[in-house]
Structure formats: structure tokens, C-alpha cells
Structure 1
Amino acid sequence: MGRGRPTRRARPPVASPGAGPTGPGVSRRQALGLLTAAGAALLAPAVFAPALAQARPRVVVIGGGPGGATAARRLAGACEVTLVEPNPIYRSCFFSNLAIGGHVPFEALAHGYDAVAAAGVRMAPLRATDVDPDARRVTLEGGEALDYDRLVLAPGIAYVPDGLPGWSPRDEAAIPSAYLTGGDPRAIRDQALALPEGGTWCLVAPPDPSRCPPAPYERASMVASLLKARNPTAKILIVDPKPRYAKQALFEEGWQVHYTGMIDRLGPDFGADRLEIRPGGMQVVVDGDAEDVDACNVIPPQQAGAICFAAGVTDASGWAPVEATGLRSTLQPFIHVVGDSAATGAIPKAASAAASEGQVAAAAILHELDLGPEPTPRYRSACWSSIAEGDAVAEETEFAPGPDGRLAAVSHRISQTGESADVRRANWADAFAWYADLTADVFG
């Protein structure tokens, strides 16, 4: 018990275009529940009597996104917490599609860590270069070492090396990806605005599993909204290696309503699972046939962040398998993995899910260290996808550990095709409120 080997395996303002009644989608109040209903009372920085006579346990958190920052804030007070995050400002990938579409300023994607530090978290503004799970030590660039009793890994995603033939991060200037945290989505907007009259903008979608599964199609929608207003004869080509994708019926209905004839998609039945990118000629090669495009956004295949490989928590899938009850690594017992890098089961890799996982992991760690009661883990994911200005669809799912030890959905609600314009406008307004509420809860 205590610090030994575990014995249990078990707001910055964002302008909203208005509010409205909520339909079958998800209201912002319901979404905010995902940040509190996972056991808020259990996650308060409690200090139980047995801990008063000893030094506080040391917890190192690597990665300052929704999962890592949430875990760090919930553990501060009961534990000595260090958050390793080299970037002084967090620039969210989530909601960046709305900035590409011109519906929020890019500045609204930036969040500082003042409130995280004020909660008692020590900030280490350096990159973690190595983890020794046997010595329980993290090495930072420059050589500083941090010893830990528990480690939380929340590094987000990395691209699979050579996962998209012909393209590498060196090609980012010509063919941007902007799908990593801290990436610059401005280039996507700029290239879309510079498209020649009647030109073609191409999106190369990723295979599963990937960060925020509906986001590539929301991105295509937001680029379409730009082109409809400024270059209405332009075309969008989606090249997708997957046979189906998240919210497909909802997106396709919305594209027919708002962007008739503008968006085409090639799936694996047209060879889209056999791709090559030629940045020099601005070509996408589909099953040997070269498609000339005027601008291209690629979203490459993904895997866990590099530090997860260094820590020995990844398996052959490239992701980090964890226990559903507390996000503890199944490979390293003193390490928890939250957010996009974790392989948890059915829960998507998304910002709201990561925040929920950060809460659950914090509660589990407090319990392991005899600083809190045994939690009943519940996870929530809420996701809005914008199709056009004033038209958004919503999805909310609750998850719990299943009999196979992985997370399974226990409740699910999603927008439906054929909904009224009033419902979709309410979803649009709720999306803005959700972003403000989530980022305020995570970053203060």
C-alpha cells in the first residue's frame, strides 16, 4: 500500500452566436457534467490522516493537455505534483476547425497554465526525454531527473513514421497536417483562401484509430463554408482509407444541404487505402492514379506519443494498453496513461474524454496511495461537430469498465438526420459554450 507496488488491478471567453433550446443533441450543461460526474467529490485534493505524518507522494505528469492538466490539478494538494510541459501556452487542436472556418479567432485556441500553477502544481517547462520505470525516474532535456511514486503520461498523439508514403513532417509547409497539439491550422485556412477559382482542395483522412474521429470531416465542412462564400465553384476531395467514418450519415446529409456538388469522397473501394503523396507536384496518388490538386491537408496515421514508447507502456498496436478501472498501464504498474495515447476500449480519443480520464486516473492514484476512497470509475465523452454556420451535430456517451476489462458504452445519445434547424442552431450555440466550459475547467 502507500508508495509500494499497487496491490489493486482493478475559461477564456469565446463569443457564442446565441443560445437556444436543446434537442436530441447534448446541451452544454450536460457536457459540463462530464467534468464533474466522474466522482468530483473523490477527486478533490483530499489529505487523509495517514498522510499527515509523511512526506507527500511525488507524482509527475507528462503532457499539459486536457488529460494531463486535469489530473495534475486534481492531485495537487494531496501530492507533490510536477507537470512536465515544454510549451508555456497550450494551443488546442480541438475547436481549431472552427477557427479555420473563421467562426472563432485563432487566439481563442491559446490557454496558459497560471491557474494550474496556482493550484499547487510545479511547472517544469522542459521536454521529457526518457523514463526509467524500474527506478521510477523521468529525465528532462538538460539532464534534470524527477523521481516519482506515480507517473501520469498524457502526451497526446504522434504520427506513425513513414505512415503516409511520400509525406513526412518535413513537408508541413507545402502540405500541412495541423493535427498535433500546438500545430498551426492557419496554413490550412490560408491555402483554402488562396485556392484558384474552381480549384480543388484535398483532405487525406487517417485510418482508425485516430484522434477525434469526426474532426477530419468537420474540417472539410469548415473549409467548404469558406469556399462557398469566396470560391463557390471550388471542389473538395476527401481521400479516406476507411470504409466508414464517424457521424457519416449526419455529415453527408449536411453536405447535401449546404454544399451540394462541392464535396466528393473516395473510400477504399476506390483504392483510397493505397495512397502516395507527391508534395513537389501537389498530387495525391490513389491506387496508382495521380490526382492533381491545388492544396492538400493530410492527417497521417497515428500512434501514442513518443514518451510512451520510452516508458515501455506501448504494445504492438503502437498505443498504450491500460486498465479500465483507473487507466493504469497494463505493462508498468506505477504509470497511468490518459488521453489520446491510451488504448482503453470504446471511448474515443477526444478532449472531453481525456479530461474525464484525467479525473478517473487522479482518483485511482489517490486511492492507491491511501489518500482517498476507492472510486467507481465513470467516463464521459461529449462531442460537437460543426457542418455549417448555425448547423452542428452532437454526441454524448458514458462509459464504464466492461466484463473484458475494457471500457464499454453504457449510454449513448447522438443527433439524428432530419432534425429541425432550431435543434441544429441550439447545438451550434452549445458547442461554443462547451469549449469555454471545458477549457475553463481544465486550465482555469
Structure 2
Amino acid sequence: MTTPTFSRRRLLTAAASGAAAFALPHIARAQTRGRVAVIGGGFGGATAARYIKQFDPSVEVTLIDRDASYITCPFSNYVLGGIRQIDDITHRRTPLQQRYGVRLVQAEAAAIDAAQKRVRLRDGNQVNYDRLVVAPGIELKYDGVPGWSEQAANTVMPHAWKAGPQTLLLRRQLESMADGGTVIVCPPANPFRCPPGPYERVSMIAWYLKTHKPKSKILVLDAKDAFSKQGLFMPGWESQYPGMITWIAGKDGGRVESVDPKAMTVTTGFGKEKGAVINVIPPQSAGRIALDAGLAEANGWCAVEPDSFASKKARDVYVLGDASIAGAMPKSGTAANSQAKVVAANVVASLRGSTPPAAVFHNTCYSLVTPDYGISVTDTYRVGPNGVAAVPNAGGVSPAKADAAHRKAEAEHTAGWYAGIIADSFG
């Protein structure tokens, strides 16, 4: 099925709407107070905490996260490209407390006792709840690539799939490599966080190399035979970085069989490749707390009711964002933000004994090929007989053939999208 392309007006509308993807009526203030705990303060968890308080200020909401601030994976590729700094993508959650009354607990959630309805924290304290929202993001499978390990990731072969120190490590490696070196990027098989992310990363690394080390090359060794927005990325690479990027599909031998951190080599079906910089993006699963609590299926992801994202494994528990099995929705920041609003409405309705509005979800994903060359895809989703499915003709992708002015406008919309989702998620 062919996805319709955007007109300029639709692109501007999508950018202006930002992350406000699920419009909800205000739910009347409850007479009795309920307690909601939220594990994880990323786009999903922070949005859920905010909107539960916004829909019903009398509900007590406690947001639990190990870190005081959140470094976003969106825009972290731009740190690699040198067009953003790490501080630009670091955000505190204090507005959630100051503006909406969310209680912030900086601690690691160690265990969930679903029978007693409490979350045990690593420091020995506990948080009791009537409803629990679990938004833990992803767990990286360090044993998913033979020869690779957490130690290798922290020293010579970073994943940078959780933004922060790993992002800076990969950036330093790019800065220190000699002009003429090869950067190897190893994307995983589906599903994984942010389907277009590895290919935007390739673009941003290419931008850095073109600007500073133009003799260098990028080799993409992919576990997949196709990737998200491939019909937009590859022409962009050809026009902006001619001869620099080689992508090898899994069927052509691109699947990584093993890596050797000491020799800095990657072995695939067609042989062994040596890299000056090697970015291993491993297989993933739902975050550790969800796995330990028994919320995940055998495939490592959490099954949920598609209209509410209530867990199929535990009563009064909701799982959203990257950790969930969300039908046709990708694992993205916008998807998590959209799901969180549906979850917030359902949580408040369940505490009030009322009926929540019908679920509508949205996803918008912008990517940069260069700082002035943007591409995007957007979709609307509803719950159908087979779960969450895209609404036909309700989304679109950037036109395959567009002039430089159009691509630059989309690059500008990328910044608008980011500002919008940050304000919507973190207050």
C-alpha cells in the first residue's frame, strides 16, 4: 500500500501540533483521592504523570526515576553530527512538580509487588499505589551480539542507544579517528527503539565526516533487508554524501555474526571488516523492571490491551512506550507521548468508575539527512479487530522528490517538533 505524501500545509500543521497528539476533555475532579505511581520519566512516563494530574488534580501521582534529568534519544544523533550539544537535549522534570503537583522520587524501582500494590525502591523505601504506570524504556541485550559486552560498549564499541555518556563516547571516537578511517554502524533486527534512528545516525555521522574528515567512509552492516524511510534516506545519502555510505542488507551478508573489540573487527556473511569506529546497536527488550515483574511475554515485550494499554499480566498496571507491544505503532518518543495520554485518561476513568474516551493515537517522526535536509512520516492509529492499526489515508511521508526549500522547511519543522514534545512531556 502506498502512503500518501505530505503537502506543505500538512507538514506545517503537523509541526505546529507538536506532541499534542491526543486531545482529551477535562475529567471532573474526583471527590476521593487515588494514588498512581509511574515508573520511568521519559516521554511516556513524564507525559502520563502530567496528564493524570491535569485530568484530575486530586489524584496523587508519584513519578519514580533513577535520574534527576532526562537526556533524550531524539536529537542525540545531532550531538554526533556536531549541530547540538548534550546540554541541549538534557531536561529536568521539576516543572511537573511545580506546575502540576507531581511528586518526584529520584530512586531506582527495584521490584513491583502487584498483589500488594507497591513498588519497592533500590534504597529500601516503597511507593504504594492504586494504579501503576510502567514506562521503563528498553533493556539492551549485551549478549545479543557474539563477542560484544557491556564492557566493550563502555570502552571501544558504544551503542549510544541510551543517550548520555554513550553519546559522548561515540562523539569522542569520531573526533579522534584519522581522516580516511571507516565507521561501521550495525543496526539490529526488528523490533527496536526508533526504527529510523540508525539511519539518521548514519546521516549525522556522514555530516560530521563530510565537514571534518571527508576521506572517511561509513559501512552499514544491517540485520534487516529494508529499513524505515529507506526510500527517503538513500536518495538523500546519494545526493548529499556521494560515495561515502555503503549499506549492506541482511540478505546480502550484512547481518553481524560476531565482533572482536580488541581487533576492532566485525564478522558478517561476506567476511571480516575492520573499523576505526564501530557502533553496535544490539537487540533490545522491555526495560529490566518490566522483565523482572513478569510483565513481558516470551519475546521480551509487554502485551497490553490495545484500547487502554492495561497490562495483560497484572491488574491495575499499565505499560506504555518502548516496552509495550503496540500493534502497528513504532517505538518512538511521539508514540510514547501519545500512548501516555490514552493511559492517563484510562487511569483517571478507572479511579472514577467512568468511561474513558475512545483511544486515538498519533506518531510523527522527523529525521535529518543534513542540518538543512529534513524528512518525515506521520500516522494516525485507532483500535481495530487486530489491535492498534494505522488509519488509511490519515498519514503521510515526505515527498520522494522535493526541492531544497522543501527539505529545509522540514528540517526547521524538526526543531519545532522537538520543542513541542519537550514542553508537552516535561511541562
Q: TM-score, normalised by structure 2?
A: 0.93
State the Cα distance separating 1:297 from its structure 2 match: 0.9
- 1:295 corresponds in structure 2 to 277
- 1:40 corresponds in structure 2 to 24
State the Cα distance separating 1:171 from its structure 2 match: 1.1
Q: How does 1:274-285 map to 2 (within 5 A)?
A: 274-285=256-267
The 3 A distance-change label for structure 1 pair 29 and 412 is closer
Give 1:226's match in structure 2, choosing from 208, 225, 230: 208
State the Cα distance separating 1:367 from its structure 2 match: 1.2
Q: How many residues end up aligned between the 2 structures?
A: 416
- 2:418 corresponds in structure 1 to 435
The 3 A distance-change label for structure 1 pair 88 and 32 is farther
- 2:148 corresponds in structure 1 to 167
- 2:37 corresponds in structure 1 to 60
Q: Secondary structure at the match of 2:51?
A: helix
- 1:414 corresponds in structure 2 to 397
Give 2:126's match in structure 1, choosing from 145, 148, 173: 145
State the Cα distance separating 1:25 from its structure 2 match: 8.6
State how far apart, in whole Å, the 2-side matches of 1:376 and 1:404 are: 16
State how far apart, in whole Å, the 2-side matches of 1:338 and 1:81 are: 17
The 3 A distance-change label for structure 1 pair 349 and 31 is farther
Query: What does the per-residue CA deviation read over 1:343-373, in whole Å, with 9 as the maximum and x for residues that have no partner?
Result: 0100011011111111010001111111654
State the Cα distance separating 1:312 from its structure 2 match: 1.7
Query: What does the per-residue CA deviation read over 1:281-312, in whole Å, with 9 as the maximum and x for residues that have no partner?
Result: 10011127221111111111011001111222
Q: Secondary structure at the match of 1:213?
A: coil
State how far apart, in whole Å, the 1-side matches of 2:355 and 2:13 are: 27
Deviates more, 1:282-291 or 1:314-323: 282-291
Contact 1:164–1:275 (8 Å) recurs in 2:
yes
Identity %: 36
What residue identity is the alignment partner of 2:96? V
State the Cα distance separating 1:232 from its structure 2 match: 1.1
What residue identity is the alignment partner of 2:419? A
Contact 2:96–2:426 (8 Å) recurs in 1:
yes
1:72 has 2:73 as partner: no
Say what the alpha-carbon RMSD is for the aligned residues.
Answer: 1.7
Q: TM-score, normalised by structure 1?
A: 0.90
- 1:90 corresponds in structure 2 to 70
Contact 1:34–1:380 (8 Å) recurs in 2:
no
State how far apart, in whole Å, the 2-side matches of 1:387 and 1:142 are: 44
State the Cα distance separating 1:389 from its structure 2 match: 2.1
What residue identity is the alignment partner of 2:123? G
Q: Secondary structure at the match of 1:146?
A: strand
The 3 A distance-change label for structure 1 pair 41 and 182 is farther
Give 2:220's match in structure 1, choosing from 235, 238, 248: 238
- 1:103 corresponds in structure 2 to 83
Contact 1:195–1:201 (8 Å) recurs in 2:
no
Contact 1:154–1:341 (8 Å) recurs in 2:
yes
State the Cα distance separating 1:124 from its structure 2 match: 1.0
Q: Secondary structure at the match of 1:27?
A: helix
Q: Secondary structure at the match of 1:284?
A: strand
Give 2:409's match in structure 1, choosing from 392, 416, 426: 426
